[in-house]
Amino acid sequence: MQTVPEYFGSLVFDDRVMKASLSQETYESLKETIDEDKELDLSVANEVAEAMRTWAVSHGATHFTHWFQPMTGITAEKHDSFISPATDGGVIMEFSGKELVKGEPDASSFPSGGIRATFEARGYTAWDPTSYAFIKGKTLCIPTAFCAYGGQALDKKTPLLRSMSALSKQAIRVLKLFGHKDVRRVIAQVGPEQEYFLVDRDMYFQRPDLVFTGRTLFGAPAPKGQEMDDHYFGVIKPRVQEFMEDLNDELWKLGILAKTEHNEVAPSQHELAPIYTTCNRATDHNQLTMEIMQKVARRHGLVCLLHEKPFDGVNGSGKHNNWSISTDTGVNLLSPGKAPGDNVQFLLFLCAVIKAVDDYQDLLRISVATAGNDHRLGANEAPPAVVSMYLGEDLTAVLEAIEKDEEYKGAERAIMELGADVLPKFRRDATDRNRTSPFAFTGNKFEFRMVGSSDSIACANIMLNAAVASSLEAFADELEGAEDFDTALQTLIKRTLKDHKRILFNGDGYNDAWLEEAAKRGLMNYRTTPDCVPHMLDPKNKEMLIHQGVYTEEELESRCEITLENYDKTVLIEARTMVDMARKSILPAVTAYETALAETAAAKKGLGIELASKYEKDLVRKLSDQADLIAAGADKLEEIIKPLEGVEDVVQVGYTIRDDVLPAMAELREAADTAERCTAVDYWPFPNYGELLFGVD
Ligand code: ADP
Ligand code: MG
């Protein structure tokens, strides 16, 4: 059997394979493209294509695809085989540099938010050499960007790469001022922790809500939920363990650094965290991870739910986007060192992030806005919809001292004494953690915790990179023009802290008092997707994103449209699913049970003895009332959604969904869940919460 180091990355056309299979000249030229954003020439592409094809075919591949990330949030692929007719009637396997560099998928069926009318169906995919090609099944997958005929980005990778360049460019300007002239690139590094649920596959298929929408739209709570805190980090069940082992194997072969896995807070909820890598690869890897999780789950008779809120009343799933910036010389610019108070360069980069998060709170909120995530943010299990930043006591004290011109006496790091001699002694971390903050400093990186579990992490990182690039640009402009660098630096840091300290909050973000305080501080609080997304087009946001070269105006307008359209469609599918389930399954089940009860009462009467049959009669009355409520609720919901079908104004539909559709869905659910609570299990048409959440052995 092969060991992990032997098979790790075996399905990836990575640096090792490139080095071994390309000429020295081509290898170096390709490395320059990958490491330094240098343009690639076609002769290099031809040799790379040849090497890729030979390698892929030797690993059993028959096809290739440009693998891209359209605005659907998932990945897309169109497979072409390598075959080409040979003169003798057979075939040869071919793959040219042109095919590697550029593809032309028909783009007409991908969301474009109005950028590309369907008659202009041509779309292009362009090879992204900074993310390695890999083999999935029998197909060589080439990570690519995706754009329209007019050059407008139709995907998430293009703006992500642009935001990484913008960040690098501005960070390099700042580093030059500190004398670091050798830095050629600054790279955003990301490690996304992925939460998910596993449910039994047979049960899944008995629930139209899970099948159509990824979450349960009905369901009374089980007698037990997560209140015992006995699932978090609990012993992993054998079937789940087998799934995780299988998953790790697949991910490792694809060069994905799957590292940490554990049970999460809710029953049946788990987490997987990889070791961080460049923002771009981390995004590709996370998309692949989600796809492979679902595929591997199937093999184990399970279904992996990536929805942000599959179950009411227990925690939903998010994705913690751990983010830092480092130089190509290997320095983490967010590492405070031993004495952060004396590390001015660190303080300046920290200030850049503080300013970025404060100035563009709305863009960060927008970057995680989906119908699914709206159920999670602010529901006391995930950060509120208000963006704030946690720095911890130590760093906050450093900043306060600077702002007030006082001397900072570093907090002594206490030795942990556990009271038993056999246990090792260690120094306590300078600060505790804060799990409630949307944006927390965790030692040498920030953890952006608002991202939804099913979301691509691209959007969050695009906004984060762009906003920080914008702060750094302002800083560089100011400092480059300064007569005395040190004085200008001090002034800048002090002023930034004074202007942006309102975004800093170390307390409990789940507390309602914080929301009041946040309002007093003037922080934004956009509760729902339709509340926040239109602000993508606010002048300050548009100006910044266009100026940083991350989006064009047209692209921004289209993103806004697509995000809202997606929200509208998602909730409308949910509403239709509810009406369907209520009428076709729940009402018939309730009536059948009523009939059984009524028949029992009638049969008892037939015995000719004086029996009250109070239980049966009361329950029939209750169920009958409940059935009326369910039927009325379904009618009402249908009435509300009917006029929305085909309405083009996505903002208006969004508001109606927020104000009318979601409340009507909640009403219908309440009626059905009450009925479920008093209907015999055998009559209920779907597996219940207890079975779903505790049914995996
Ligand atoms: P937690 O304790 O918050 O669950 P971990 O310490 O396990 O988190 O790390 C979470 C993620 O942060 C991992 O994916 C890890 O690779 C990533 N990470 C660690 N250091 C950095 C860094 N400097 N930049 C970006 N991500 C990082
Ligand atoms: Mg974490």
Residues 592 and 546 in one domain: no
| CATH number for position 651 | 1.20.120.1560
| Atom number in ligand 1 closest to CA 274 | 14
Q: What is the pLDDT of residue 638?
A: 98
Across the range 215-227, mean pLDDT stands at 91
Whose atoms come closest to the Cα of 278: which ligand?
Answer: 1
The strand pairing partners of 386, in sequence order, are 525
| Atom number in ligand 1 closest to CA 335 | 23
Residues 537 and 664 in one domain: no
3-class DSSP assignment, residue 678: coil
Q: What is the pLDDT of residue 514?
A: 92
Q: In the numeric block, which tokens belong to residue 516?
A: 């009041």
Across the range 452-477, mean pLDDT stands at 98
Q: Which of 526, 551, 576 is the last residue of a domain?
A: 551
With contact defined as beta carbons under 8 Å apart, do 148 and 111 qualify? no
With contact defined as beta carbons under 8 Å apart, do 379 and 452 qualify? no
Closest CA to 310 of 376, 258, 249: 376
Which structural domain range is residue 601 located in? 567-694
Residues 307 and 381 in one domain: yes
Across the range 102-109, mean pLDDT stands at 81
Tally of domains within the chain: 3
d(CA 260, CA 272): 6
Mean pLDDT, the chain, as a whole number? 92
3-class DSSP assignment, residue 525: strand
**Does 74 have pLDDT greater than 80?**
yes
Would you say residue 557 lies in a domain? Answer: no
Across the range 196-209, mean pLDDT stands at 97
d(CA 554, CA 496): 32
Q: 274 alpha carbon to ligand 1 midpoint, in Å?
A: 8
Structural element, H or E, at residue 580: helix 553-581
Q: 73 alpha carbon to ligand 2 midpoint, in Å?
A: 23
Contacts by 101-108, CB closer than 8 A, 24 or more apart: 101/40, 101/42, 101/45, 101/126, 101/127, 102/126, 102/127, 103/66, 103/78, 103/144, 105/66, 105/76, 105/78, 105/146, 107/146, 107/148, 107/149, 107/154
Q: What is the pLDDT of residue 588?
A: 98
Closest CA to 353 of 384, 394, 323, 319: 323
Q: 254 alpha carbon to ligand 1 midpoint, in Å?
A: 20
With contact defined as beta carbons under 8 Å apart, do 509 and 388 qualify? yes
**Does 116 have pLDDT greater than 80?**
no
Q: pLDDT class for 352, splitting at 50, 70, 90?
A: very high
Q: 553 alpha carbon to ligand 2 midpoint, in Å?
A: 35
3-class DSSP assignment, residue 198: strand
Residues 532 and 596 in one domain: no
**CA 656: distance to chain centroid?**
26
Burial class of residue 407 in the structure, from the number of CB atoms within 10 Å of its CB (0-12 exposed, 13-18 middle, 19+ buried): exposed
Q: 115 alpha carbon to ligand 2 midpoint, in Å?
A: 37
The strand pairing partners of 324, in sequence order, are 189
Across the range 280-295, mean pLDDT stands at 96
The strand pairing partners of 318, in sequence order, are 452
Across the range 380-393, mean pLDDT stands at 87
Q: Which of 154, 181, 206 is the last residue of a domain?
A: 154
Helix and strand numbers (H, E) in the chain are 25, 20
Q: 289 alpha carbon to ligand 2 midpoint, in Å?
A: 17
Q: Look at 359 and 222; give whichever has higher pLDDT.
A: 359
Ligand 1 cavity residues, CB under 6 Å: 189-191, 193, 260, 273-276, 322-324, 332, 444-445
Whose atoms come closest to the Cα of 335: which ligand?
Answer: 1
Q: 299 alpha carbon to ligand 2 midpoint, in Å?
A: 29
d(CA 570, CA 19): 46
3-state secondary structure 483-508: CCHHHHHHHHHHHHHHHHHHHECCCC
Q: 275 alpha carbon to ligand 1 midpoint, in Å?
A: 7
Q: Which value, to the nearest 10 degrees, does the dihedral of the CA atoms of residues 554, 555, 557, 563 take? A: 160
Which one-letter DSSP state was computed for residue 155?
A: B
Q: What is the pLDDT of residue 233?
A: 81
Closest CA to 536 of 520, 553, 548, 549: 553
Would you say residue 169 lies in a domain? Answer: yes
Burial class of residue 477 in the structure, from the number of CB atoms within 10 Å of its CB (0-12 exposed, 13-18 middle, 19+ buried): exposed
Residues 540 and 594 in one domain: no
**Does 426 have pLDDT greater than 70?**
no
Biggest alpha carbon–alpha carbon distance for the chain: 106
| CATH number for position 13 | 3.10.20.70
Would you say residue 121 lies in a domain? Answer: yes
633 CB-side CA count, 13 A:
27
Whose atoms come closest to the Cα of 448: which ligand?
Answer: 2
Would you say residue 514 lies in a domain? Answer: yes
d(CA 613, CA 119): 69
Whose atoms come closest to the Cα of 260: which ligand?
Answer: 1
For atom 17 of ligand 1, the residue with the nearest CA is: 191
Closest CA to 111 of 568, 549, 430: 568
Place of tokens 């099948």: 211
Residues 517 and 544 in one domain: yes
For atom 11 of ligand 1, the residue with the nearest CA is: 191
Residues 520 and 573 in one domain: no
Q: What is the pLDDT of residue 418?
A: 61
d(CA 284, CA 287): 5
**Does 430 have pLDDT greater than 80?**
no
Residues 196 and 111 in one domain: no
SS percent in the chain: helix, strand, coil, step 5:
50, 15, 35
| Atom number in ligand 1 closest to CA 326 | 23
Q: Look at 1 and 270; give whichever has higher pLDDT.
A: 270
Name residue 369's amino acid.
A
3-class DSSP assignment, residue 102: strand
**Does 221 have pLDDT greater than 70?**
yes
For atom 16 of ligand 1, the residue with the nearest CA is: 275
3-class DSSP assignment, residue 41: coil
With contact defined as beta carbons under 8 Å apart, do 675 and 219 qualify? no
For atom 19 of ligand 1, the residue with the nearest CA is: 276
Across the range 357-377, mean pLDDT stands at 96
**Does 460 have pLDDT greater than 70?**
yes
Residues 574 and 544 in one domain: no
Q: 259 alpha carbon to ligand 2 midpoint, in Å?
A: 13
| Atom number in ligand 1 closest to CA 271 | 4
Q: What is the pLDDT of residue 118?
A: 45
Residues 247 and 276 in one domain: yes
Q: 451 alpha carbon to ligand 2 midpoint, in Å?
A: 12
| CATH number for position 292 | 3.30.590.10
Which one-letter DSSP state was computed for residue 243?
A: H
Pocket test for ligand 1, best of 189, 190, 193, 331 (most atoms within 8 A of CB): 193
With contact defined as beta carbons under 8 Å apart, do 258 and 272 qualify? yes
| Atom number in ligand 1 closest to CA 332 | 23
Name residue 246's amino acid.
D
d(CA 523, CA 515): 9
Q: pLDDT class for 337, splitting at 50, 70, 90?
A: confident
Distances (CA, A) of 252 to 59, 280, 292, 437: 16, 18, 11, 32
Q: 320 alpha carbon to ligand 2 midpoint, in Å?
A: 6
| Atom number in ligand 1 closest to CA 193 | 14
The strand pairing partners of 322, in sequence order, are 191, 447
Whose atoms come closest to the Cα of 258: which ligand?
Answer: 1
Q: 390 alpha carbon to ligand 1 midpoint, in Å?
A: 16
For atom 24 of ligand 1, the residue with the nearest CA is: 324
Q: 144 alpha carbon to ligand 2 midpoint, in Å?
A: 29
pLDDT tens per residue across span 229-261: 787 888 888 999 999 999 999 999 999 999 999
With contact defined as beta carbons under 8 Å apart, do 280 and 160 qualify? yes
Q: pLDDT class for 117, splitting at 50, 70, 90?
A: low
**Does 510 have pLDDT greater than 80?**
yes
Q: What are phi and psi of 267, to 5 degrees?
A: -60, 140
Q: What is the CA radius of gyration of the chain?
A: 28
All residues at 6 or more sequence positions from 82 whose CB lies less than 8 Å from its CB, including other chains? 53, 56, 57, 61, 62, 63, 64, 93, 94, 95
Kindly report the number of other CB atoms within 10 A of residue 38's CB atom. 12
Residues 87 and 145 in one domain: yes
Whose atoms come closest to the Cα of 451: which ligand?
Answer: 2
**Does 419 have pLDDT greater than 90?**
no
| Atom number in ligand 1 closest to CA 324 | 24
Across the range 467-493, mean pLDDT stands at 96
Across the range 336-361, mean pLDDT stands at 93
Q: What is the pLDDT of residue 401?
A: 87
The strand pairing partners of 192, in sequence order, are 321
Structural element, H or E, at residue 520: helix 512-521
Would you say residue 416 lies in a domain? Answer: no
Would you say residue 609 lies in a domain? Answer: yes
Q: What are phi and psi of 647, to 5 degrees?
A: -70, 135
Q: What is the pLDDT of residue 281?
A: 96
pLDDT tens per residue across span 595-620: 999 999 999 999 999 999 999 999 99
Would you say residue 223 lies in a domain? Answer: no
d(CA 422, CA 410): 30
Q: Which of 105, 136, 154 is the last residue of a domain?
A: 154
**CA 2: distance to chain centroid?**
33
Mutual angle of helices 485-500 and 458-480, in 10-degree steps: 140
| Atom number in ligand 1 closest to CA 433 | 3
Closest CA to 476 of 349, 346, 356, 325: 349
**Does 413 have pLDDT greater than 90?**
no
The strand pairing partners of 140, in sequence order, are 64, 135
d(CA 306, CA 452): 9
Q: What is the pLDDT of residue 649?
A: 94
Q: 349 alpha carbon to ligand 2 midpoint, in Å?
A: 22
Across the range 384-389, mean pLDDT stands at 92
Pocket test for ligand 1, best of 276, 349, 457 (most atoms within 8 A of CB): 276
Closest CA to 377 of 453, 324, 472, 457: 453
Q: What is the pLDDT of residue 226?
A: 82
Residues 127 and 238 in one domain: no
**Does 416 have pLDDT greater than 70?**
no
d(CA 482, CA 479): 5
Q: pLDDT class for 119, splitting at 50, 70, 90?
A: very low
For atom 14 of ligand 1, the residue with the nearest CA is: 191
Q: What is the pLDDT of residue 341?
A: 77
Across the range 35-48, mean pLDDT stands at 86
What is the pTM for the complete model shown?
A: 0.94
Q: Look at 616 and 77; give whichever has higher pLDDT.
A: 616
Beta strands in 597-684 (DSSP E): none
Q: Percent of the chain, pLDDT > 70? A: 95
For atom 6 of ligand 1, the residue with the nearest CA is: 442
Distances (CA, A) of 164 to 16, 157, 466, 548, 554: 25, 10, 8, 10, 20
Q: Percent of the chain, pLDDT > 90? A: 78
Pocket test for ligand 1, best of 322, 333, 346, 448 (most atoms within 8 A of CB): 322
For atom 1 of ligand 1, the residue with the nearest CA is: 193
Would you say residue 560 lies in a domain? Answer: no
Mutual angle of helices 485-500 and 344-359, in 10-degree steps: 40
Q: What are phi and psi of 197, to 5 degrees?
A: -110, 150
| Atom number in ligand 1 closest to CA 192 | 14
